[in-house]
Amino acid sequence: MTVKIVTDTLSDITGDLTDEIGVNVVPLYVRFGERIYRDRVDITSEEFYRRLVTEAVLPSTTQPTPNDFYQVYEQLAESTDEILVITVSSKLSGTFQSAAQAISMMEGRTTKIEVVDSGCVAMTLGLPVIATASQAANGTGLAELAEYARGACRRTHLVAYFDTLKYLAKGGRIGKAQGLLGSMLSVKPILTLREGEMAPLTRVRSKSAGMDYLLNAVARKPELLAVEHCTTPEDADGLAARLRQAYPDVPIYRSVISPVIGTYSGPGAVAVSILEAE
């Protein structure tokens, strides 16, 4: 039987792509006031970002419950005996813990389940999931597939332009970028992921300089690329077009940064994710 792949909505794999590659996506949660929404299920990205910039109180987020993962495991166990789960970085969310805890709920099932902490977020998680799903479709077994996924995650890089660090700071996810606070009045931060946490790369004076930096961050020919945005699709489209010119043979995925991630990135963020070739 083919190994089934599970990830979460912080992979930013959405829409038809989930069906195309055969991946199951477990949503995280966003809370506005008293209302709780499943990420991209009960609230669209467009509605979320509209409310993010217009409502006085910032939203909060939480990971899926073990039961959320258990329900997916139970459903998949009807058609497979091996499941691989690839989650957002455990330093950014408790999603990995929920996925792992759900395995103990599968009493009486012989299904083998392995959970991989990607150490990644957004399409730096999404690209390894896409690549791993391709390996699974070719018949790779669970143990080998898990090792492949870990290796793919180590080959990914995130470079993100932020219009502001306000949301990252208020949400408590600023990580190693803390030192940039207080110096952001006239410059824009460029961040990356380092050891599963947000970390600073540099600062630029304008959005156009930020897009140039993201373009030049792709220093070696990659295996896969992804460009995503929060509220400025024109910026992401322009960056993707420039990348296609530079790397015409490399698949480039486009996505919108999920509401849960957007809670911390704020509006205006644009990111490029790079999966380096082996």
pLDDT of 169: 66
* pLDDT single digits (tens) 226-257: 999 999 999 999 999 999 999 999 999 999 99
Residue 100 has which token pair? 């792992």
Residues 272 and 202 in one domain: yes
CATH classification of the domain holding 227: 3.30.1180.10
Q: What is the mean pLDDT of the chain?
A: 92
Q: Provide the number of structural domains found in the chain.
A: 2
* pLDDT single digits (tens) 74-90: 999 999 999 999 999 99
Q: Which residue has the tokens 């209302």?
A: 35
User: Which range of residues forms the domain containing residue 224?
Assistant: 156-276
- Alpha-carbon distance of 171 to 182, in angstroms, equals 16
- Alpha-carbon distance of 210 to 160, in angstroms, equals 9
* pLDDT single digits (tens) 26-51: 999 999 989 999 999 999 999 999 99
Query: Last residue of some domain: 154, 177, 201?
Result: 154
End-to-end CA distance of the chain: 27
The DSSP bridge pattern shows strands 82-87 and 4-8 to be parallel
Q: Select from 269, 48, 1 the least CA-distant residue to 161.
A: 269
pLDDT band at 21 (very low <50, low <70, confident <90, very high): very high
Residues 129 and 214 in one domain: no
Residues 124 and 182 in one domain: no
Q: What is the dihedral of CA 71, 75, 78, 80, to 10 degrees?
A: -90
Q: Which residue has the tokens 């304008």?
A: 206
- Alpha-carbon distance of 172 to 164, in angstroms, equals 14
